[in-house]
Amino acid sequence: MGKTVPTEVQKSAAESMASSLGSIAGVSAEVSERASGTSPRNVVSVECKQENWRALAETLCDDHGVDHCSMITGIHWPEGAPEKNWEVVYHFLRTAIKDPPVTEGMVEPLIVDPNTVRGEQVPLEIEVRVPIPETREPSVASVQDIWVGADWNEKETWDLVGIDFEDHIGMRRVLQPHETPAGFHPLQKQHKLRYHDFEEMYDDVQGFLRKPVDSGKIK
């Protein structure tokens, strides 16, 4: 028995999802083939307008069985077009694993013949890009309540990039010190980090906890 879903079955499932998602207002979707090792895989690549993101997220979960948020990445594009100065990239999985048996507190594996899976049983990767227009306060709707995996990822994205997630409960610093000044997010491109042996100094906000050896250095 093979250990992977046949490529043609996975591609068909990905195309079906992309077609359905593409009918949602503000959403465009396509299937892109990517390689990992010896087996190509088909990924559903989606671009969604900021104001349509929450509706798309609910559709992914409720109608397409997307059950895991594996990563969220925030990007600052100050040199980009006005309609895309910021971007949030979400990585999701449809694992197709539902209610595995539990014996004495241990989850038992579900052994399924991958040649027999069809429709929502087919595991898929989904990548969603949400561009954000030029603004000093970038934000998108939180999906913390839909996927538990989004909780930490939204915190990390806000902490490092400064993109806020509306209605996220318990937002806080998770990588930067808790006493880091408000407004400091190190992956925003206007900040000029100085590393040892470089002559470029911190921006003012990055003078936070400046080391004595930096005193007198020019920006």
The pLDDT assigned to 149 comes to 96
C-alpha dihedral sign at 174, 164, 31, 97: positive
199: pLDDT confidence band, cut at 50, 70 and 90?
very low
192: pLDDT confidence band, cut at 50, 70 and 90?
low
- Containing 18, the helix (H) or strand (E) segment is helix 7-21
Secondary structure E strands in the chain: 27-36, 39-48, 68-76, 86-94, 102-103, 106-107, 124-132, 139-141, 164-166
**Beta bridge mates, 102:** 107
The pLDDT assigned to 215 comes to 53
Output the pTM of the full model: 0.81
Q: What residues contact 16, with CB distance under 8 A and at least 6 apart?
A: 119
**Mean pLDDT to the nearest integer, 147-165:** 96
The pLDDT assigned to 203 comes to 44
Q: Is the pLDDT of residue 200 over 70?
A: no
Domain ranges of the chain: 7-101+113-173
- Residue percentage of the chain with pLDDT more than 70: 84
CATH for 7-101+113-173 is 3.30.460.80
The pLDDT assigned to 196 comes to 43
